[in-house]
Chain A
Amino acid sequence: MTQPLLSIRDLHLRMSSFDGRAHVLNGINLTVNRGEIWGLVGESGCGKSLTGLSVSRLQPTPPAHYTAGEILLEGHDLLKLSQAEMQRLRGKRIGMIFQDPTTNLNPAFRIGDQLVDVALAAAERDPDVIGCSPNAGRRERRQAARKLAGEMLARVGIPNALARLNDYPHQFSGGMRQRVLIAMALIGRPDLLIADEPTTALDVSVQAQILELIKNSVKDFDMGVVLITHNLGVVAQTCSHVAVMYAGNIVESGPVAAVIGNPVHPYTRALMSAIPTRETRRGELRGLAGSVPNLITPPPGCRFAPRCQFAQPACTAAMPTPVSVGDSHAAACIRVNEMEALVDD
């Protein structure tokens, strides 16, 4: 295989605040290829959104400070780009969808105009986007962009798309607005889509449709997707791969079937047993005691050790490194090979 689409290598991010410096990302390694949907899951405060924001370079520095590592988009380190260069990449190479569809559309403009602006901006880099030569007149280019906007809206499943280009954001329901945002993220034909909790604010029935839409777009556009969510169910439904994060580290990663079918890291296991399923009997749901550690003075060694039921003295000695447990399935736990025996007990 050639160069991966996105490769995050040993990314370290520090945040300064009144309380001190928090090491919020602590050596993140993640590789996303075209056609893959990577789910990034974990509890709030584990650094999953920060990872997404780092890739799109939307995390303001300061207070954040990248102390080590690189984020390679087809070999180019995004951390070395200026904000202006980054601005050109966003929208064109990197598309983004956020949790709240209401605040991410400008209420004062028709959605058609907002889509056209994004398309024209993307076309400056790659005229193919609107299928119109760069020498064409302004008017012609605008028309082409508008046509594309209509097609995109139809594609994300908005009925009567051409007519709705003239509508304002408030005329759309929450689910429809999220579709518009997806259309906006996809209109520049990005190579990489970062979706940060795209369905958390939506109803389950709408959520299923939006996830399906993201899945189909991956096939249509040959993109790579990083889907940030706290919901393992969403991951199981949508993703091809998953990375489970805890307190600034990826603790387990691999293909969804492997990780969810056979979770080996105690944290992944704990997360999964906290979700009520058909078989869970009343009062038998297993929560996870304690809370996410303070990242200013993180616990020594494995950050999950204080909450881990399998922790032993060796766990606090050093931060565990990922151990391969199968085809591209890895977990950062020193007892990973004993896990099966431990669970059986």
Chain B
Amino acid sequence: MTEIMLEIDNVSKIYPGRRGIFGSSPEVHALKNVSLSVRKGESFGLVGESGSGKTTLTRSILHLETPTSGSIRVQGQDLGKLSDAELRRLRSRVQIVFQDPYASLNPRMSVYDIITEPLVIHHETLGLTNRQRSDRAAELLSLVGMGPQHLHRYPHEFSGGQRQRICIARALASGPELLLLDEPTSALDVSVQAQVLNLLCELQDRLGLTYFFISHDLAVVRYLCDRVALINRGELVEQGDCADIFDAPESEYARMLIGAMPEVKVPASAGRGG
């Protein structure tokens, strides 16, 4: 039996409704009894469209949001039962890369400051000297395919792909075991997406990371992930091995999603005109 890295057990999240003079809004069930488990070292894909609850789930795993019921365990530790100090220590082991590389880097911080920030925050756990931090920053940059000459530049000087590499370097700085990837390539051009996806594959092989990959792009999930779960309106619709779901989807929703995938297939009938 392989070790379980992340276990989501019957998690629900209800945003309370509002009542006011200008109309009221009903309560929103963002997540309904979601259960899934991610094994150590695998890539787990979570696929859903906008409003499906995948963002709420991600935020819950990061403990930026508290589920209404259910529990989230990282390597057996229940997030809801941790003290602040334990939670802080846990944060060094669970990291995230966001979708928009233009918004997720502080424009006033240099690349060096950005990458070393996790090292400064977790200095109690990691215990690095200034010198060691500098070395580590250079090492992280080279790990993501950039060079030490980029250390003292600012985010706006980089292209989208380079920024996403910086985000990955920051996420790796504290030596996490679980990486949440929240649509890390959907803001990038295909050629750059390919580079970043390859980098992610390579990093996983080298560092033995576990990926929790959130996406709406089925082609990317199929490429990167071992197992996949489909989420629709806060409920898990289907989960299983990637190959199984793509070859023989069981649910109507999965079939619809796979059918709607814009694949580069040569159309049977050639276009007219010309």
Contact = CB atoms under 8 A, between A and B. Distances in A.
Interface string B234-274: 00000000000010000000001101111111110111111
A276 to B, nearest CB: 3
Given A233-B262, A282-B224, A283-B198, A277 B271 contact: no
B62 interface: no
Interface stretch (A22-30, A77-85, A130-138, A251-259): A251-259
Contact of A236 (B195, B202, B262): B262
A237 B269 CA distance: 11
Nearest to A34: B273
A288 B271 contact: no
A132 B109 CA distance: 62
A328 B274 contact: yes
A239 interface: yes
Given A44-B189, A288-B194, A255 B270 contact: yes
A174 B266 CA distance: 29
Contacts of A43: 189-192
Nearest to A234: B262
A269 B155 CA distance: 31
Given A205-B256, A282-B223, A327-B274, A236 B190 contact: no
B25 interface: no
Interface bracket on A: 35 or more
Given A203-B50, A327-B274, A260 B194 contact: no
Interface string A317-345: 00000000001100000000000000000
A162 B205 CA distance: 57
A258 to B, nearest CB: 7
Interface string A268-289: 0011101111101011011111
B220 interface: yes
A240 B263 contact: no
Residue of A207, A208, A276, A291 most packed against chain B (CB within 10 A): A276
A123 B260 CA distance: 37
Contacts of A141: none
B256 A285 contact: no
B159 interface: yes
A255 B192 CA distance: 26
B116 to A, nearest CB: 26
Contacts of A254: 274
Nearest to A241: B271
Given A35-B273, A207-B260, A283-B202, A236 B189 contact: no
B262 A207 contact: yes
Contacts of B246: 278
Interface in B21-77: 49-50
Contacts of A206: 49
Given A257-B270, A270-B191, A274-B190, A236 B265 contact: yes
A249 interface: no
A276 B222 contact: yes
Interface of B: 49-50, 159-161, 189-195, 197-198, 201-202, 205, 216-220, 222-224, 246, 256-257, 259-267, 269-274
Given A43-B190, A204-B216, A272-B264, 6 more contacts: A44-B160, A204-B218, A205-B256, A208-B259, A233-B261, A236-B267
5 nearest interchain CB pairs? Answer: A240-B271, A233-B262, A276-B223, A287-B194, A288-B191
